[in-house]
Structure 1
């Protein structure tokens, strides 16, 4: 699956795409499936994306799942399930990339499979360097492509807990805004921590309310301001400007707000910034943004998915589309949560 970056609606299936060159990595992988997310839709719309050096088209796909065909390094065995880490460190490298924290790259020269200067995983076969290959339990075969969004959530929780350790911290209540894949996985990891979880979304029908309740969490459709509690932790997963501001005001004393949704910009809201400043300062609250993940977070995500109810994870996948019908996969439908493009069995 390829696009010409910056050119809207240039998505096409290339059936004679060459085999992945050995310099991409020692581990040769047969693609099983890729998940599709908002990033893919924005690249297809021409908003961003960067092809690898020397070519004019970018292979899509950053939510990967494959089966190892060969690994002369001995890191994995033929037949093992594997996912590929999306971001690679910059070549300089910056201080963070130098120690494996490439999710926190400071100079912006990182590369990303299917997004920025590296071919993605939406192709029959791909290669990986061993340090960017994450082995998966065989039980995750139907849902392993969820590892990439789960790694984003694992990073968010890692940083929330590091910030919480600044003082005696005993969180009880979590609010997740948005019940898309990131929001639902954020709620999953919150329930795995034994916290009281609330999920807010505007959908009153479809699969989302039941998926939340199946976790033992509470589903809300009212505005944030009408909630009758002050959460200790908020994971904001919509990127909607009004919701972002509302959750910053709603968090309880010493609360932590993690922003994972990305706003599109271009919208002005009349807002009392002074009141927000006063609240954040006097209540010792923290608001921070989180994106991407490093190897530690991918491993944590793999553990979390292995512990989860597999039927619940499977319910997040609302459509599976064979690669030959790719146009349907990339055309959103109202009740979509996670759409998967299947390459093989």
Structure 2
């Protein structure tokens, strides 16, 4: 079979090549890989900036945003041949910390977790893959064209869970949410905000292409002004930050309503400096009882919540998020950014 492989920490090593077919162990599904999504983490791995091979291997099979069709399932697993599934990315460390031991492996405290397609475990970017039944999540059969969005939807489901848990430290009745960034995470964050009955605003620097229309058709309001202008106009109770841009991060932190919650989901690049009035930021955070939290990755319940949210969404709207599809033999094209890209998907067939 063919798989998309890379040599981590080595640029220009991306290659679709023949690899041995996997043999499912007891309690594992055998899955036909249909598609993988490409995100910033994948681009960092392909650029030689990130990633770890499985022990004893020279190459890593890429792909953590997955969609596949079950070929064979263990009896009593709850899955059957033909089911669509997505695979959970992270696994708890072998000597679990307190969080991993309680099933909260997305919040691992000691860093010894592993991740499919990223850290010491082959990913889902192959024509066949296996996954433990406990780490497989069923996908609605109507989502065959967009089910690869389950992983980013799981990240957003966790972010919203964290916001609501932090807000729940006292009376919390948010009305307005600002999402900064209209990429896949931002758009899905807006989707889940609209589903919560909130007044949703999305900020992104582009003024053309598919993003403004996607936001408007969701029932949210699109903004392209600076973050300070947007927060001054709407005074958000919640901010889901999905750009990782330092100026946007600090602008959002300074612009919430009292008792505001800012959830950072975008990862900033190293080596960039920014002049910040730290005293003012500290003063506003303290005097207004604001909270700033980081959120990344997801565990199994977040995947199920993400899959459920996609199943209830307008499929035509979801399809518009996937702006480009390429075949496995042309996978390198998926890593060359185009102006109107939102989500790029690699088909594995």
TM-score in terms of structure 1 length: 0.98
- 1:222 alignment partner in structure 2: 225
- 1:11 alignment partner in structure 2: 14
- 1:257 alignment partner in structure 2: 262
Partner Cα distance (1:156, 1:26) in 2: 29
Query: How big is the shift at 1:274?
Result: 0.7
Query: How big is the shift at 1:19?
Result: 0.8
Partner Cα distance (2:132, 2:105) in 1: 15
Q: State the SS of the aligned residue for 1:22.
A: coil
Q: Point out 4+ residue stretches in structure 1 off by more than 6 angstroms.
A: none
Is residue 20–residue 126 contact of structure 1 (8 Å, CA) maintained in 2? yes
- 1:336 alignment partner in structure 2: 341
Q: State the SS of the aligned residue for 2:205.
A: coil
- 1:53 alignment partner in structure 2: 55
Is residue 25–residue 127 contact of structure 1 (8 Å, CA) maintained in 2? no
Partner Cα distance (1:8, 1:98) in 2: 36
- 1:156 alignment partner in structure 2: 159
Q: State the SS of the aligned residue for 1:313.
A: helix
Query: How big is the shift at 1:163?
Result: 1.0
- 2:41 alignment partner in structure 1: 39
When residues 141 and 72 of structure 1 are mapped into structure 2, their CA distance, relative to the original with a 3 A threshold, is same
Partner Cα distance (2:36, 2:26) in 1: 19
Partner Cα distance (1:22, 1:200) in 2: 45
Q: State the SS of the aligned residue for 2:42.
A: helix
Is residue 92–residue 100 contact of structure 2 (8 Å, CA) maintained in 1? yes
Check if 1:279 corresponds to 2:284.
yes
Question: Of the candidates 81, 85, 93, which is equivalent to residue 82 of structure 1?
Answer: 85
- 1:322 alignment partner in structure 2: 327
Q: How many residues align?
A: 343
Query: How big is the shift at 1:166?
Result: 1.1
TM-score in terms of structure 2 length: 0.97
Check if 1:132 corresponds to 2:138.
no
Question: Of the candidates 294, 298, 309, which is equivalent to residue 299 of structure 2?
Answer: 294
Give structure 2 stretches of 5+ with no counterpart: none
Is residue 26–residue 73 contact of structure 1 (8 Å, CA) maintained in 2? no
Question: Of the candidates 95, 101, 121, which is equivalent to residue 92 of structure 1?
Answer: 95
Q: State the SS of the aligned residue for 1:303.
A: helix
Partner Cα distance (2:22, 2:143) in 1: 25
Query: How big is the shift at 1:269?
Result: 1.3
Partner Cα distance (1:24, 1:250) in 2: 52
Q: State the SS of the aligned residue for 1:175.
A: strand
Is residue 26–residue 74 contact of structure 2 (8 Å, CA) maintained in 1? no
Is residue 151–residue 298 contact of structure 1 (8 Å, CA) maintained in 2? yes
When residues 126 and 28 of structure 1 are mapped into structure 2, their CA distance, relative to the original with a 3 A threshold, is same
Query: How big is the shift at 1:9?
Result: 1.2
Q: State the SS of the aligned residue for 2:258.
A: coil
Greater Cα shift, 259-268 or 147-156? 259-268
Greater Cα shift, 127-136 or 317-326? 317-326
When residues 108 and 73 of structure 1 are mapped into structure 2, their CA distance, relative to the original with a 3 A threshold, is farther
Partner Cα distance (2:284, 2:222) in 1: 26
Aligned CA-pair RMSD: 1.0
Is residue 180–residue 204 contact of structure 2 (8 Å, CA) maintained in 1? yes
Query: How big is the shift at 1:23?
Result: 3.9
Partner Cα distance (1:99, 1:73) in 2: 26
